[in-house]
Amino acid sequence: MIAGNYKTYELTIANSDHAELNLSSVVSTEKLIKINPGATNVRVLFTSTISTDVADDQDYLLVANTETEFAVGRGLDRLSFYNGSGGEAKVSIAVLF
């Protein structure tokens, strides 16, 4: 259940690189994650905290400069992002719980 608390994050990712965000210390319940990539060709992968998989050019493509919502249950506490935009990308993330 989402109770009205939230945290915000911003990641800066170099071209052809990836970055991770671990949410396990923030919240262990259901959460609503809103992601707004600041560039085209940014992809996301949701995994458990013990996973070492990183996002690549085959994962979920986010729409540039558009907020995308994900309702996520327990266990998917690690977000991995891949930037294939050709330049630096700033990704804004809001986690509501």
pLDDT of residue 1: 55
* 59 part of a folded domain: yes
pLDDT (tens digit per residue) in 17-57: 999 999 999 887 889 999 999 999 999 999 999 999 999 99
CATH of the domain at 11: 2.60.120.10
- Alpha-carbon distance of 21 to 77, in angstroms, equals 8
* pTM of the predicted structure, to 2 decimals: 0.93
In the chain, how many domains are there?
A: 1
pLDDT of residue 2: 65
CA distances from 31 to 24, 38, 50, 60, 94 (A): 11, 22, 19, 19, 10
- Number of Cβ within 10 Å of residue 92's Cβ equals 14
* 1 part of a folded domain: no
Residue 80 has pLDDT above 60, yes or no: yes
Across the chain, mean pLDDT equals: 94
- Number of Cβ within 10 Å of residue 44's Cβ equals 21
Residue 22 belongs to what domain range? Answer: 6-96
pLDDT of residue 4: 84
